[in-house]
């Protein structure tokens, strides 16, 4: 059955797609553990919020190293299936049991290059979780 993707997928927004999953399932326990990565969505004046900075090393993303280069993908070695986060959540992380909808949100994010911003415009609005559509001109 064809169904629309979850909120935050169009226009793309980490704050609307991923952060709600972390708030529901992860941030509370991580806040209690001093050595655990921060998974909160606090705006702290930096380019990305703490949860994104913490998850980026566990995510999948293609970074051309500062200059544009064409990315290459190989079956089974891209996105959620190639990320440490996807493997950790699939294998089970402590007592966390993500709903199918929440797992879909995380998988979608990982499969979309684990980006934070969905557009190059109005970054402060996107940091606050506001929908910002990319300019087409």
ω into 11 cis (within 30 of 0): yes
pLDDT digits (tens, 9 = 90+) for 23-68: 999 999 999 999 999 999 999 989 899 999 999 999 987 665 555 5
Strand partners, 9: 12
pLDDT of residue 132: 96
Q: What is the signed CA dihedral for 5, 11, 17, 19, rounded to 10 degrees? A: -170
Percent of the chain with pLDDT over 70: 92
Strand partners, 3: none
pTM assigned to the model: 0.88
User: Which of residues 95 and 10 earns the better pLDDT score?
Assistant: 10
């Amino acid at each position: 059955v064809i169904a629309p993707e979850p909120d935050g997928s169009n226009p793309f927004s980490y704050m609307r797609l991923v952060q709600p999953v972390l708030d529901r399932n992860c941030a509370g326990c991580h806040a209690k553990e001093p050595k655990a990565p921060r998974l909160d969505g606090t705006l702290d004046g930096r380019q990305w919020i703490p949860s994104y900075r913490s998850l980026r090393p566990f995510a999948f993303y293609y970074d051309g190293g500062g200059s544009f280069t064409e990315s290459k993908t190989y079956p089974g070695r891209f996105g959620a299936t190639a990320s440490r986060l996807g493997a950790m959540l699939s294998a089970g992380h402590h007592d966390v049991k993500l709903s199918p909808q929440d797992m879909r949100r995380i998988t979608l994010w990982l499969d979309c290059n684990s980006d934070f911003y969905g557009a190059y415009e109005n970054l402060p609005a996107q940091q606050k979780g506001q929908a910002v559509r990319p300019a087409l001109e």
